[in-house]
Amino acid sequence: MRDTQRRRTLPIFSDVAKTAMALSMIERRILQSLTYSSRVATLFAVFFFACAAGPDTASAARSAWVDTAGGGIRLVTGARLADGTLPAMLEIRLEPGWRTYWTDPGASGIPPEVTITATGPGADDFVYSGLRLPPPKRFAEGDLTYTGYDQPVAFPLLLKTGTGGSGNSGASGALTLEASVFLGICKSICIPVQAQLDVALADAQAGAAADNPLDTARVRSAFAALPAPPSPDFNVAEARFDATGHAIALALTLPEGATLSDVFLAAPSGYAFGPLQSETDATGRTQVRIPTKRPLKASGLPADGSIRATISVKRPGGMAAMETPLVFKP
């Protein structure tokens, strides 16, 4: 009999917009299987939308696993800080050969979507400010590329609760977090996964979470894996948008001894980016040019901060990454 702390996946179609997105992805996967004869002839897409097997919520400040083909997902929280900040992460388990996607998945794929609400005492004080993603990898299949992860990964979540008990209201009882998750897990089969993850936080969560030091350490590790902010020795010195040449040009300052690994751009819907070209100029800066396709009705420079860059480099001690919004010079 299955562990009561796990949830099973069921074939449910519960969101028209997400179903349309998944159908689009699947159509592309089928076309790709027709285009590249080296692929397995049985490539096809199967929908599994995950839902709860029962109404129970897991204790110990983590949700039950939601299992799906190729992996599983769950919500994990760490020890709450004195200011009410509640470090948390969406943990994604991937089996060998499977992958999930980054903010901009590339040729096909589904970017992760997470919304979190709270119910119970202190819910009025709860704030969810979004999720962060670690530096991705780029995968190639034929002439198409994808951006994401092929190893188990954790997406940090930015949460904040009240600073006392279950909230500033002083009411007793458990504050329950309810996370709605939609993402893609793919191999030769693509699985659009939709799941509801629930976590019940005990009163005085800062003390309760101390019973789970491993969870707290793992959440901290997830935040530590995020790209760093710009620094004097690692930044975008200049960003320009070449509307005539249909490209984004970046002048990068890289850490001493580092070489450029990749540049990932996340932009509003309608943008598409080609393979980058890079060279080091006479000043030591790395000049990058990225072919860019804009939305049909776009004009002028992209709004400041509307496009974000994650820049990964190889250093003598390993990989490093930096994330920054792009501000384009006229």
Residues 126 and 118: their CA atoms lie apart, in Å, by 7
Widest Cα–Cα separation across the chain? 66
Beta-ladder partners of 93: 72
3-state class of 31 per DSSP?
Answer: helix
The answer to whether residue 66 scores a pLDDT higher than 70 is: yes
Q: What average pLDDT does the chain have?
A: 81
Write the DSSP symbol of residue 296: T
**What count of other Cβ atoms lies within 10 Å of the Cβ of residue 147?**
24
| Domains along the sequence of the chain with CATH | 6-224 (no CATH), 235-325 (2.60.40)
The answer to whether residue 118 scores a pLDDT higher than 90 is: yes
The answer to whether residue 328 scores a pLDDT higher than 90 is: yes
DSSP calls for 168-222: TT---S-EEEEEEEEEEEESSSEEEEEEEEEEEEPSSHHHHGGG-HHHHHHHHHH
The answer to whether residue 1 scores a pLDDT higher than 80 is: no
pTM of the model: 0.80
169 phi-psi bin (left φ>0, alpha ψ -120 to 50, beta other): alpha
User: Residue 137: is it exposed, middle or buried by C-beta count within 10 angstroms (0-12/13-18/19+)?
Assistant: middle
**pLDDT for position 259:** 97
**pLDDT for position 203:** 63
**Higher local confidence (pLDDT), 115 or 17:** 115
**pLDDT for position 301:** 82
Note the pLDDT tens digit of each residue in 187-200. Answer: 987 889 999 999 99
Note the pLDDT tens digit of each residue in 271-298. Answer: 999 999 999 999 999 999 999 999 888 8
Write the DSSP symbol of residue 123: G
**What count of other Cβ atoms lies within 10 Å of the Cβ of residue 207?**
11
